[in-house]
Amino acid sequence: MNGGPRTTTRDIARAAVRSELAQVAYGLIRREGFEQVTVSDLAAAAGVSRSTFLRYFGTKEDAVLGAVEAQGRQLADALRARPSGEGDWTALRRSLDVLMESYRRDPAEALATARLIMGTPALCSRQREKQHRWRPLLVRALVERTDPPRPVAVALSVKAGAALECLDIALDHWIGSDGHLDLVGLLDEAFAALAPR
């Protein structure tokens, strides 16, 4: 018998509603601009009451960035799945490929999303706050990918933090190039700058 948390039909329905509300919020904010849209506007566009909307998202920032928290778990899972013999730095870089999937699928949409987040101070700040929560997830994944698991060490936190900073720097350069540079290439370049010699 599995002792882990069970997913109920209620959880599934809640996740589906949350996803739909996030899509509506993102679409409206992208069209109208973050500052021009209120939580009441988002609720009306989604066809729900303001209080219902706020049950799913405490702020409009959270509505736009709803996927960011899930990305942290996806990234940690991808890192944990890397071969145990692979060096930490290489494993961190390769695990970030999971975040590159939306870029590969639709670079123009990925660029529009990145511009919206990075170009809106409230979204950028909230996104960095959420991303900061990824670091302990990555440290835990680094610990767990060895057999036996190694102790948590400062070096693992530094590696996880540096990997996330490489991602942010690559994104900044990509946005600055108006999407003309290759995001994956920029990420590789950022990691190469700190690769063990």
Side-chain-facing half-sphere of 51: CA atoms under 13 Å: 0
Shared-domain flag, residues 142 and 45: no
Would you state the pLDDT for residue 118? 92
pTM comes to 0.85
Tell me: do 181 and 93 sit in the same domain: yes
Q: Are residues 98 and 48 in the same domain?
A: no
Q: Which domain holds residue 81?
A: 65-193
pLDDT in tens, the chain (197 residues): 455 567 788 888 888 888 889 889 999 999 999 999 999 999 999 999 999 999 999 899 999 887 676 899 999 999 999 998 899 999 999 999 999 998 999 999 999 999 999 999 999 999 999 899 999 999 999 999 887 878 888 999 999 999 999 999 999 999 999 999 999 999 999 999 999 77
Predicted pLDDT at 12: 85
Question: CB–CB of 186/170 below 8 Å?
Answer: yes
Same structural domain, 120 and 184:
yes
Asked if 57 and 71 sit in the same domain, the reply is no
Domain shared by 70 and 99, yes or no: yes
The per-residue pLDDT for 3 is 52
Is 138:167 a contact under the CB 8 Å cutoff? no
Burial class (CB in 10 A: 0-12, 13-18, 19+), 33: exposed
**Helix/strand/coil percentages in the chain, nearest 5:** 75, 0, 25
User: Would you state the pLDDT for residue 5?
Assistant: 62
Whole-number Å distance between alpha carbons of 92 and 9:
34
Q: How far apart are CA 131 and CA 115, in angstroms?
A: 17
